Amino acid sequence: RKEVEQDPGPFNVPEGATVAFNCTYSNSASQSFFWYRQDCRKEPKLLMSVYSSGNEDGRFTAQLNRASQYISLLIRDSKLSDSATYLCVVFFSGSARQLTFGSGTQLTVLP
C-alpha cells in the first residue's frame, strides 16, 4: 500500500465548476500536510498547507481529518489556469524527515 494515495483522475470539468480531490495517508504519526500544484514539465509548487481546523485561500479550501487519515482539496469557480496536477503531500518530522508525495490528481478545466 502506498503511503499517500490519490485518485489519479483525470478530472475534466467546465469553467466555473466546483471540483474536489481526496487523499488518504497511512502513517498516523504524520505531522504536517500540504497540497502542491505541478504544471506540465514544471517543478511542484506549494499551493497551501492543510490544518486540522480546515483552511481557505480564495477559491481553495483544504480539510484534514486525522481520525480518518484523510485530506481534501476543494476548488470553487474553476478557472482555465487551474489546470494542473495536484499533489497531496504529508510530512513526518521523525527519523525519516521528508515530504512524502502522492502520485497526483490531474485536473483539466475546459472552456
Residues that bind another protein (CB under 8 A): 4, 8, 32, 34, 42-46, 49, 87, 91, 93, 95-104
CA distance 69 to 95: 20
Query: What's the min distance (Å) between Cβ of 53 and another protein?
Result: 17
The rounded distance, in Å, linking the Cα atoms of 40 and 23 is 21
Cis peptide, bond prior to residue 10, ω within 30 of zero:
yes
Rounded to a whole number of angstroms, the minimum distance from the CB of residue 16 to another protein is 28
Rounded to a whole number of angstroms, the minimum distance from the CB of residue 23 to another protein is 11
